[in-house]
Homo-oligomer: A and B are copies of this chain.
Amino acid sequence: MTRTTQDFLADRARLMGPNLPTFYEDPIHIVRGEGVWLWDADGKKYLDCYNNVPHVGHCNPCVVEAVSKQMATLNTHTRYFHDLVLDYIEKLTSTMDPFLDTAILTCTGSEANDIALRMAEGMTGKRGIIVTDATYHGNTSLVSQLGKEYKPKVGFGLDQYVRFVTSPDSLRLPDPDGTLFAARVAEQIDALEKDGTGFATLIVCPYFFNEAFPATNDNWLKPVAEVVRKAGGLLICDEVQSGFGRMGTHFWAHQKMGVVPDVMTLGKPMANGLPVGGVVTNSEILAKFRTNFRYFNTFGGNPVSCTAAIAVLDELLDRDLLGNAKTVGDHARNRLVAMQDKYDIIGDVRGSGMVFGAEMLLNKETNEPATEFTTKVLNKMRHRGVLHTSLGPHRCTLKIRPPMVFGTEHVDILMDTLDEVIEETLNEMDLKAPASLGA
């Protein structure tokens, strides 16, 4: 006696309120997951090319077993001693530069970013925060102010501390080595110092996921990191989306981008779906925060959360999912590039490792975004059993960010379907016929 779509919509509105985000024009009722596959209530199977929370695969057996075992053994908090929280932080920080040597474990990326911003305030004595105009860092009163697109109408005036810079956009604002971005940030630093707020921190996703992951050369963040440090501020890298091997080339995106952040924040994929987030930083910065504030998080670092997080790290390392991300991602980008010959609408193929996508353009000279087309494509893909979304300021970039166990055989299913859907959508919308059709 399952709910119908109408029941779901009615019950969600009644019990959870309006303005609830859902995916797709015809939302899906998912009931089962395994690896890169999801099933809906009617038994229809979907290839998951979107979800990054089940980082090592839906219902990963190692994670399920570790959690089930620890749930039946003990789950308590860090006011008692327990090995797992220490073992995890040791293992986690060993993947990073020695500067990043301590951590606070939280339950969400939002909590982590909320802490990171207070670390910056504590270290600098100032409050000015710089972010891009297309980013998102979470949902607390403070952190929610960092989103310009869904700027909240509440938040205790905290928006006064936030300044936005134009997002990197490799198509429309070429900036191959990041000097233009650095200059834009420098302008905002000056403005913050002049208006009396003072500059505390630049917080960025080091691969700019929400900015539609523009094409960037390696070491792209070096110029802006120099600007930030020269001004006495902290560089916070929000690696919620970009971390844990997704880049394919490096375990952390900041390594690819040539910087060591002062503070790094983590969330979504950290424990394959259990609510775990974290802040990793240098012991001096952590000590300053902890003397400014006796922070305690009831659930943060509990044995069940830690065993899940350890299982995720083990799976990543033991199965070389970093290497898999590179191989599979390269295959995906090659297939997208091959499709560009066929379809003029595929404007720019981008990504690194297990994040890839293409910007859809109505006109490659003017870079006019194919927003409506992209929305149609992802809804058609959903009906053909392939799940992804779109993103970017123009909502015209395919966002393909599957679990790290995605293989080349899954890429082929995805790309074959995408090929059909693009052709069908071009025809339906009476857009220019595929370039090579007559050839």
- Chain A contacts to B: CB under 8 angstroms: 2-3, 5, 8, 11-12, 14-23, 27-33, 38, 51, 53-54, 58-59, 63-64, 67-68, 71-83, 85-86, 89-90, 93, 101-104, 107-111, 114, 117-119, 121-122, 127, 139-142, 144, 150, 152-158, 161, 267-268, 272-276, 283, 286-287, 289-299, 301-302, 304-305
Please determine whether B22 and A73 come into contact, CB atoms closer than 8 angstroms. Answer: no
Chain B residues lying within 8 Å of A59, measured Cβ to Cβ, are: 71-75
Residues B102 and A15 in contact, CB atoms below 8 Å apart: yes
The reply to whether B79 and A290 contact each other, CB–CB distance below 8 Å, is no
Q: Is the CB of B51 within 8 A of A3?
A: no
B residues in contact with A305, CB < 8 Å:
275
Q: How far is the CB of A108 from chain B (nearest CB, A)?
A: 5
Q: A17-B287, A20-B290 are in contact. Are A298 and B155 (CB under 8 A)?
A: no
* The residue from B3, B67, B108, B144 contacting A293, defined by CB atoms under 8 A apart: B144
Q: Is the pair A102, B17 in contact by a Cβ cutoff of 8 Å?
A: yes
Contacts of A275 in B (CB 8 A): 107, 274-276, 299, 302, 305
Q: Are B76 and A273 in contact (CB under 8 A)?
A: yes
- In the complex, which residue of chain B has the Cβ closest to the Cβ of A22? B79
Bound-complex Cα distance A38 to B80 (A): 11
Q: Which of B27, B110, B122, B155 contacts A153 (CB 8 A)?
A: B122
Which residues in B have their C-beta under 8 angstroms from that of A273? 71, 75-76, 299, 302, 304
A161, closest chain B residue (CB)? B156
Partner pick for A274 among B3, B63, B77, B274, CB 8 A cutoff: B274
Contact of A118 among B53, B85, B155 (CB under 8 A): B155
Complex contacts, A93 vs chain B, CB 8 Å: 15
Counting chain B CB atoms within 10 Å of each CB, which of A19, A63, A81, A273 scores highest? A81
The reply to whether A292 and B154 contact each other, CB–CB distance below 8 Å, is yes
Supply 15 A–B pairs (Cβ within 8 Å), ascending by A.
Answer: A3-B81, A15-B86, A16-B104, A18-B291, A21-B294, A27-B81, A59-B75, A107-B107, A110-B297, A111-B139, A117-B156, A118-B152, A140-B140, A144-B293, A153-B293
Give CA–CA (A76, B31) in the complex, Å.
9
Question: Are the CB atoms of B30 and A76 closer together than 8 Å?
Answer: yes
Name A296's contact: one of B21, B71, B141 (CB within 8 Å): B21
Residue from A3, A58, A141, A305 whose CB has the most chain B CB atoms within 10 Å: A141
Cα separation A265 to B181 with both chains bound (whole Å): 42
Residues of B near A23 (CB, < 8 A) are: 79-80
Of all A-B residue pairs in the complex, the 9 with the closest CB atoms, nearest first, are: A152-B293, A275-B299, A68-B68, A75-B273, A29-B81, A275-B275, A17-B286, A153-B292, A107-B275
Further contacts, 16 of them, CB under 8 A, given A3-B86, A15-B102, A114-B141: A12-B81, A14-B102, A18-B291, A19-B294, A20-B78, A30-B80, A38-B76, A58-B74, A58-B75, A59-B75, A75-B274, A110-B111, A139-B295, A140-B141, A150-B294, A268-B298
